[in-house]
Structures are given as C-alpha cells and as structure tokens.
Amino acid sequence: MNEDRIVDIEIKIARQEDLLDSLNQLVYQQQKKIDELEALCAALARRLKDVVSAGNEQNAANERPPHY
C-alpha cells in the first residue's frame, strides 16, 4: 500500500515536470515572437517617419515663393 502511494507520487511528479517543460518551451516561443514583432514595429515606425519627412520636404519644394 505504501509503495503504491510512492509510485503514484512519482508519476504525478513526472507529469508535472513534463508539463513544466512544455510550458517553458511555449513561453520561449512566445517571447521570441514578441521580440520579432517589436523589431517589426520599430522598423515600421522608422519607415513611417521617413515617409512623412519625405512628404513634408516634397511639399515644401513645390510651394510657390511668397512673392507670387
């Protein structure tokens, strides 16, 4: 009877260790994806800033001088 309880506890511990490993792998994958998305957002923000700056420069170059 005592040995059965020990075996049950060992089985539960083995399952918890397996679950913990699975969760750790999932967290690692999610963090990797978050890092990729943050890098993409930063690149898009830089690109948007460049496009807006280029648009402002182009509008300023096409404006009529004030004496017209």
Domain extents for the chain?
1-53
Write down the pLDDT at residue 59.
65
Q: Tally the residues of the chain.
A: 68
What global pTM score does this model have?
A: 0.66
For residues 58 and 42, the model is more confident at 42
**In one letter, which amino acid is 50?**
D
Task: Among 1-5, 40-44, 53-57, name the one with the lowest average pLDDT.
Answer: 53-57
pLDDT at residue 42 tops 60: yes
DSSP letter for 65, please: P
* Average pLDDT estimate for 17-24: 98
